């Protein structure tokens, strides 16, 4: 991950309410990590077009019997 992860995590802890649970903190950290990973993938060109995604989705749904 990029170097901004720790700063983002600290900012997250400042924004959460004082009475939040450990599960709340872990969930928010998970989401933050997923967003950062997605941003890194996009910056590295690891993306697919909407057209290709739609075709993949249609094929998947046909295989699922829908």
Mind listing the pLDDT tens digit for each residue in 22-58? 999 999 999 999 999 999 999 999 999 999 999 999 9
Output the DSSP codes for 7-27.
HHHHHHHHHS-TT--HHHHHH
Look-up of token digits 């829908």: 66
CA-closest candidate to residue 29, choices 42, 10, 43: 10
pLDDT of res. 1: 45
Look-up of token digits 């990973």: 37
Any idea what DSSP says for residue 66? -
Of 7-11, 19-23, 32-36, 57-61, where does mean pLDDT reach its minimum? 7-11
């Amino acid at each position: 991950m990029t170097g901004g992860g720790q700063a983002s995590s600290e900012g997250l802890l400042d924004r959460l309410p004082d009475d939040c649970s450990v599960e709340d903190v872990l969930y928010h950290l998970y989401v933050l990590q997923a967003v950062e990973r997605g941003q890194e993938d996009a910056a590295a060109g690891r993306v697919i077009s909407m057209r290709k995604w739609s075709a993949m989705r249609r094929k998947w749904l046909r295989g699922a019997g829908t």
